Structure 1
């Protein structure tokens, strides 16, 4: 639900034409990921609910599920994805990478992280307790140099950072997986998981203890 809330937030804040949900392929910083086919299926189920909600509240945004990364061979680097998307969108379109603040403060551990700004803006939703001071000094310098308003992101192609602290959703994917490991027989899904995704997880026997 945190991912969906982040997408809905920036769909409204940036008046997005398209909101692309993209399951990662082979994640370089993560081992033992759930099979890509399952993650894609769950993303599609979640996207249906998000699309319905946005159709009522913000109908100008089209929700798209992309298989771009899971179809790519080898490690799935975000910079490669953004480079491809920039080439397809052209030099003038405003592109934004939407992430949580937990990833923002460790952005300098990503592959070729400085090049991300050559292709897109980076927009982050701050979780409760977020502090820029937890980022490295070089990264804090980048925050200061590149921070933009929503209008600044909308009106330029790439290169900025937008940090939004209005979401206040504190959901950890690690904690959710731990909850799922012991909740397979529960009558209702965890509060932070869409019902269709919960039913898929149960049917496919995923995330069991």
Structure 2
């Protein structure tokens, strides 16, 4: 069975940077990849778009391909979207299937601020997006936790359900959802930053027309 990788986020809005990273992770890991929108993100302000709007944007962005999927479980669960709770739920569902939590290098460096972060290594592998040649610079607490866990994507990590840290060298795309929201709020078009299908459905972007947050 292929590994299952999860890319979480507010996706406010989802953009081609998210999709490219998820697509390349699917190739590098030979994995099934699901995008998982957060309901109440513990580390950031609430999304500008509603749950319904974000789901509609994700469905439009993912249409017409069969490599990337969508998992809405965090939107269906009350309270903050703690990753540790989501991974525990997935682990109970998938048994010994390898799970990979995907994240950017900045998020990985801030892992000690996450709720029950040490338990993440017991529930999944961690796949960290980085530019080619990137070297991790980690706080001491995280450096100790990562020691001995680094693994190559072509190695034998698939034989273990959890516990390894995989550095994923993906194409660097400097695209920010914040920047896209500002463009839309100022009346400009973020063409080529968002999937084409989102422009075919103008109502999807209505939430950002007057909100530069």
Q: TM-score range by the shorter chain?
A: 0.7 to 0.9
Question: What is residue 5 of structure 2 aligned with on the other side?
Answer: none
Greater CA drift, 24-33 or 71-80: 24-33
Q: Which has the larger strand fraction?
A: 2
Q: Which has the larger helix fraction?
A: 1
Instruction: Quote how far apart the aligned CAs of 1:199 are.
Output: 4.3
Q: 1:199 to 1:139 in 2, by over 3 A?
A: farther
Question: What is residue 196 of structure 1 aligned with on the other side?
Answer: 197
Picking from 80, 83, 86, the partner of 2:88 is: 83
Q: What are the ranges of 5 or more consecutive residues in structure 1 without an aligned counterpart?
A: 56-60
Distance 2:205 2:176 in 1: 22
Q: Secondary structure at the match of 2:183?
A: helix
Over the aligned positions, Cα root-mean-square deviation in angstroms equals: 2.2
Distance 2:39 2:133 in 1: 30
Instruction: Quote how far apart the aligned CAs of 1:45 are.
Output: 1.2
Is 1:125–1:167's contact at 8 Å kept on the other side of the alignment?
Answer: no
Distance 1:44 1:153 in 2: 31
Is 1:14–1:154's contact at 8 Å kept on the other side of the alignment?
Answer: no
Picking from 150, 154, 167, the partner of 1:163 is: 167
State yes or no: 1:179 paired with 2:183. yes
Instruction: Quote how far apart the aligned CAs of 1:155 are.
Output: 2.4
Q: 1:129 to 1:194 in 2, by over 3 A?
A: farther
| TM-score of the two chains, using structure 1 as the length reference | 0.82
Picking from 139, 142, 145, the partner of 1:139 is: 142
State yes or no: 1:47 paired with 2:62. yes
Q: What are the ranges of 5 or more consecutive residues in structure 2 without an aligned counterpart?
A: 1-15
